[in-house]
Amino acid sequence: MTQPLRYAMNVTLDGCVHHEAGLPPDAESMAFWTDELRRSDTLLYGRVTFEMMRAAWRRPGSGEWPGWMGPDEIPFAEKIDAMPKRVVSSTLDTVDWNAELVPGDLTAAVERLKAQPGRGISLGGVQVPAVLAGLGLIDEYTFVVHPVVAGRGPRLLEGVPLTLELVGRREFGSGAVVQRYRPVAQGKPFPAAPGEDDPASAGNLGRCRSSRRRCRRGGRRRGRSGTTRVAGETQGRRCPIGVD
């Protein structure tokens, strides 16, 4: 029996997953995210998410948490700081913060990780989850939907069609709603236009090196209804293809 790979993410009503797009955290949401960490033994991140989380939640060398961190945030910080982590990256040679790099082929590496004994693997971020969802390797999806319309920014599982079954729901006092799903079927993706990379392809992981430069892989493609879909981001937003 394999341990489950669980993807959990904050998302706005219009599907934006930028970490600054939703409501500010409160006691209820921080308790929820701390409990989510406790369901798993290992964290799995791409480089961008790993470095962002490390900067925010790594215990300082003094051993004391910074003064800005309130009592609602310290249990989360204590838990995430101590957990083993695995990092998917094509640019890093070494990692710290209780972490190891994921070696070799991503599919094989994640399947080996899932085959190890444990309560589960907690997956975060944007790019790596889209790849793993496209490969059918995620066993549970948890979305905390915020009552906010961002209007722009990186989108949830961009380019990855899925059919999901709702298995749990919870409302926060803030108006955010937790929706927990399990996958039912892998959808058929829209074909990429000629000369355009498929953002859900594992082979694209790591090809775009900068999230700050304009993504030049973007292009227009036609959906089944004939409406225009845009692959890639415009200047000033994160490139959705291959930021590790």
Task: State how many domains the chain has.
Answer: 1
pLDDT at 2: 85
Residue 190 has pLDDT above 70, yes or no: no
Question: Does 197 fall in a domain?
Answer: no
CA angle (127, 227, 158) in 5-degree steps: 10
90 and 105 Cβ atoms separated by less than 8 Å: no
Question: Does 223 fall in a domain?
Answer: no
φ, ψ for residue 108 (rounded to 5)?
-65, -40
Domain around 9 = 5-186
Question: Does 241 fall in a domain?
Answer: no
What's the pLDDT tens digit per position in 3-38? 999 999 999 999 999 989 999 999 999 999 999 999
Question: Does 193 fall in a domain?
Answer: no
Calculate mean pLDDT across residues 37-54: 96
pLDDT at 121: 97
- What tokens does 138 get? 């995620």
Calculate mean pLDDT across residues 37-47: 96
Question: Does 227 fall in a domain?
Answer: no
What's the pLDDT tens digit per position in 213-233? 333 333 333 333 332 232 333
Residue 1 has pLDDT above 90, yes or no: no
Question: Does 243 fall in a domain?
Answer: no
Residues 6+ apart with CB under 8 A from 233: 154, 214, 215, 218, 239, 240
CATH number of the domain bearing residue 172: 3.40.430.10
pLDDT at 226: 33
Of the two residues 240 and 168, the one the predictor is more confident about is 168
Three-state helix/strand/coil letters over 100-162: EECCCCHHHHHHHHHHCCCCCEEECCCHHHHHHHHCCCCCEEEEEEECCCCCCCCECCCCCCE
Calculate mean pLDDT across residues 43-71: 95
- What tokens does 131 get? 């790849």
pLDDT at 188: 55
Distance (Å, whole) CA 94 – CA 173: 42
The mean of the pLDDT values for the chain is 81
Question: Does 27 fall in a domain?
Answer: yes
Question: Does 238 fall in a domain?
Answer: no
